[in-house]
Amino acid sequence: MSADDDFFMFRHLLDEPDQQTRLDELLVDSEGWDKGLSAFEIYLEECFDFPFQAKFRSKKYGDTKSVFTVLRVSCSKDKGGVFCEIQFKNQKKREVPVCCITPTDRKHKRNIAFNDYLSWLPFTP
């Protein structure tokens, strides 16, 4: 481990092949929705490797053909989950729930954290 690795609390979870083991370790001290959201906010911040390209998951959220850039995790909200800031090609920015996007690079390790978050949510995005 390098000195930079000491900064990350959860990045090592991406190397764990079992999702339930990852979730158990991530949420070990996180009882309740709000503490779980806080843990996921940190996990996603550490593992997403910003910026990256994404699309909307369904037409319910926006044009599914339009590719935009995910700039950062912006916050977590009691209603809605973890949010990220995105930027369109016209430079307009918007804050959207992480669950409404899908990364275009399906081979990147960020997808492990993304799928962990989606599986943890108590609702279907």
CA-nearest of 55, 104, 52 to 73 is 52
pTM (two decimals): 0.91
What residue type is 46 in one-letter code? E
Residue 6 belongs to some domain of the structure? no
In angstroms, the CA 110 to CA 46 distance is 9
* Domain containing residue 25: 16-120
- Assess if residue 104 is contained within a domain: yes
Q: Coil, strand or helix: which one is 19?
A: helix
- Report whether pLDDT(97) > 80: yes
Tokens, residue 98: 């992480």
pLDDT at 5 over 60: no
Q: Is residue 38 part of a domain?
A: yes
| Tens digits of residue pLDDT in 8-50 | 789 999 999 999 999 999 999 889 999 999 999 999 999 999 9
- Number of separate domains in the chain: 1
Strands 68-77 vs 101-103: parallel, antiparallel or unpaired: unpaired
Q: Are 122 and 36 in contact (CB under 8 A)?
A: no
3 in a domain, yes or no?
no
| 125 within a domain of the structure (yes/no) | no
- Are residues 82 and 44 in contact, defined by beta-carbon separation less than 8 angstroms? yes
Q: What's the pLDDT at 2?
A: 42
